[in-house]
């Protein structure tokens, strides 16, 4: 199974830049999309169906904002839209698909960069996700939580960490939450296969960050510990430029 997670920063914009052609070449079994910024009816999904994908879409109520979608060649036996919180579910941030032997979660975690109120909501969401996965593991032990976490876990995951210690996305309490999430029974799939520095998944559009590789690694496929034993590989594709993020892969 090949799985991709990708914050496309607007699915319609990504399609106009060649997203569908890239997807046809990669042809993963499952692809999770974050920040769709569109309702399903605003997107021509005929090509996705032609590729053999089932489409599961969870849009934000606010047009042009947030939203997640999962395209899968594997048929889920159960689909859950939302984490069970009205505020976050109105923003279309959480999509769960149950298969026979495992569960996939696609999540677009809030950013806290716009101020203290949003940072508080981000931290509230983090605790919701941790509590949700802790409860889910009691009956569904094999879980992959994919998405844009909007957090760099360790100094190796961000350019010039000493400059970002007081910046949302690299705050001590956010990184401590990542520690707790891993300790609850998850593995950072990418770091199981690549321990090199300067491996990023997001670059600001400002200041020519991408050519200088001044990035952040904030996109993850976090795999529950038992399921992690079946991983074959995990990697990122930084050369892709459909978004300010790049896709992150894991293969089982």
> Model confidence over 134-167: pLDDT tens digits?
999 999 999 999 999 999 999 999 999 999 999 9
49, 20 in Cβ contact below 8 A? Answer: no
Q: Helices (H), strands (E): how many in the chain? A: 9, 14
149, with CB counted inside 10 A (0-12, 13-18, 19+), is: buried
Selecting among 29, 46, 86, 148, the annotated active-site residue is: 148
State the Cα–Cα distance between residues 241 and 252, nearest whole angstrom.
Answer: 26
Q: Tell which residue, 60, 6, 70, has the closest CA to residue 37.
A: 60
Classify residue 81 by burial, with Cβ atoms within 10 Å: 0-12, 13-18, 19+: middle
CA distances to 8, 112, 252 from 246, rounded to whole Å, are 8, 20, 20
C-alpha closest to that of 249 among 32, 22, 10: 32
Q: Where are the alpha helices (DSSP H) in 17-145?
A: 19-26, 46-50, 86-89, 116-136
Using alpha carbons, list the distances in angstroms from residue 117 to 71, 110, 111, 112.
33, 11, 11, 8
Q: Specify the pLDDT at position 84.
A: 98
Domain at 2-251, CATH homologous superfamily: Endonuclease/exonuclease/phosphatase (3.60.10.10)
Q: Domain boundaries in the chain?
A: 2-251
Residue 148 is a catalytic residue: yes
Query: Rounded to an integer, what distance in angstroms lies between the CA atom of residue 38 and that of residue 35?
Result: 8
Per-residue pLDDT of the chain (252 residues), as tens digits, is 999 999 999 999 999 999 999 999 999 999 999 999 999 999 999 999 999 999 999 999 999 999 999 999 999 999 999 999 999 999 999 999 999 999 999 999 999 887 889 999 999 999 999 999 999 999 999 999 999 999 999 999 999 999 999 999 999 999 999 999 999 999 999 999 999 999 999 999 998 999 999 999 999 999 999 999 999 999 999 999 999 999 999 999
pLDDT at 114: 79
Bridge partners of residue 177, in order along the sequence: none
CA distance 154 to 140: 28
d(CA 61, CA 99): 27
Q: How far apart (Å, rounded) are the C-alpha atoms in residues 92 and 95? A: 8
């Amino acid at each position: 199974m090949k799985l991709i997670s990708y914050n496309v920063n607007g699915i319609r914009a990504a399609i106009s830049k060649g997203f569908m052609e890239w997807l046809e070449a990669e042809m993963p079994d499952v692809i999770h999309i974050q920040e769709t910024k569109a309702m399903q009816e605003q997107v021509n999904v005929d090509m996705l169906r032609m590729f053999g994908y089932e489409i599961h879409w969870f849009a934000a109520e606010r047009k042009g904002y947030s939203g997640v979608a999962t395209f899968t060649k594997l048929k889920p036996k159960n689909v859950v839209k939302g984490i069970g919180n009205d505020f976050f579910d109105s923003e279309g941030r959480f999509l769960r698909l149950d298969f026979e032997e495992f569960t996939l979660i696609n999540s677009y975690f809030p950013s806290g960069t716009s101020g203290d109120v949003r940072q508080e909501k981000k931290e509230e969401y983090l605790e919701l996700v941790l509590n949700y996965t802790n409860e889910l593991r009691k009956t569904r032990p094999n879980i992959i939580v994919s998405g844009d976490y909007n957090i760099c876990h360790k100094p190796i995951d961000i350019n010039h960490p000493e400059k970002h210690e007081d910046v949302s996305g690299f705050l001590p309490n956010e990184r401590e939450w990542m520690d707790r999430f891993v300790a609850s029974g998850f593995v950072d799939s990418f770091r199981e296969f690549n321990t090199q520095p300067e491996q990023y998944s997001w670059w600001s559009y400002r200041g020519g960050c991408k050519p200088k590789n001044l990035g952040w690694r904030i996109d993850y496929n976090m795999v529950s510990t038992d399921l992690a034993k079946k991983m074959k590989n995990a990697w990122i594709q930084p050369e892709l430029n459909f978004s300010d993020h790049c896709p992150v892969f894991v293969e089982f």
